[in-house]
């Protein structure tokens, strides 16, 4: 399973990318707004920091505007993947952009049928938001399992990119279900490294090393 960082904070991205396990980055207008930087400046730094797919979201709500934005974003760097929302206009834009060879990540997926439509429209990725479904009492990871099964049934090349991951449990479930990508906030990726028994074991090894004659 590929690991993407869900952030627009370049310092956080560089810190986590240094672990050597990061395959790409996802951003959105909310994440970029938190940095206080221009969208294109933030994207340029991110593309320099991570050599992999970088999802950048359109803000237009009509298909023509999404298509225009998508072409402009894709022209900024070869690694840019255009994020379009799961709407009627988003699907129209996805079909046009994908037919032009521009990779599209259809975002805000909350049910398997939406993911299937996005795949049929040519999306390279679909982003089911598992944490937000959990927030309203639904089992978000169930949607991931359904999407993986559906895409396998019909050999769709579209990848399931699990988004709105809130904890290591989401991450591990996604991997067990066969999701292609998990995009995580930097804090969650760093949580994956840690376990109390690892820390205790290291402390004991170092303590025993001090007893070895020098």
**Which is catalytic among the residues 83, 120, 194, 211?**
83
Q: Does residue 22 sit in helix, strand or coil?
A: coil
From residue 32, give the alpha-carbon distance in Å to each of 6, 36, 116. 11, 7, 29
Rounded CA-CA distance 158/152 in Å is: 10
Active site residue 214: no
β-bridge partners, 24: 4
Rounded CA-CA distance 214/210 in Å is: 9
Q: Which residues contact 143 (CB under 8 A, 6 or more apart)?
A: 109, 110, 111, 112, 115, 128, 130, 133
Q: What are phi and psi of 59, to 5 degrees?
A: -120, -10
CB atoms within 10 A of CB 97: 26
Active site residues: 83
């Amino acid at each position: 399973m590929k690991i993407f960082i869900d952030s627009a904070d370049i310092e956080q991205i560089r810190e986590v990318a240094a672990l050597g396990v990061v395959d790409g980055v996802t951003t959105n207008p909310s994440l970029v707004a938190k940095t206080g930087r221009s969208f294109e400046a933030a994207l340029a730094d991110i593309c320099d920091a991570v050599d992999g797919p970088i999802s950048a979201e359109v803000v237009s709500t009509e298909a023509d505007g999404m298509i225009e934005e998508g072409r402009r974003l894709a022209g900024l760097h070869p690694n840019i993947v255009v994020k379009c929302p799961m709407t009627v206009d988003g699907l129209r834009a996805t079909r046009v952009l994908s037919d032009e060879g521009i990779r599209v990540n259809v975002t805000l997926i909350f049910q398997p049928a939406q993911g299937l439509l996005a795949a049929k429209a040519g999306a390279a990725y679909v982003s089911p938001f598992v944490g937000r479904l959990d927030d309203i009492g639904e089992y978000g990871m169930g949607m991931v399992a359904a999407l993986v099964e559906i895409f396998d049934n019909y050999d769709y090349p579209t990848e399931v990119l699990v988004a709105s991951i809130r904890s290591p449990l989401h991450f591990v479930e996604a991997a067990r279900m066969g999701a292609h990508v998990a995009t995580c906030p930097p804090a969650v990726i760093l949580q994956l490294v840690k376990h109390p028994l690892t820390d205790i074991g290291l402390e004991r090894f170092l303590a025993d090393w001090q007893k070895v004659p020098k």
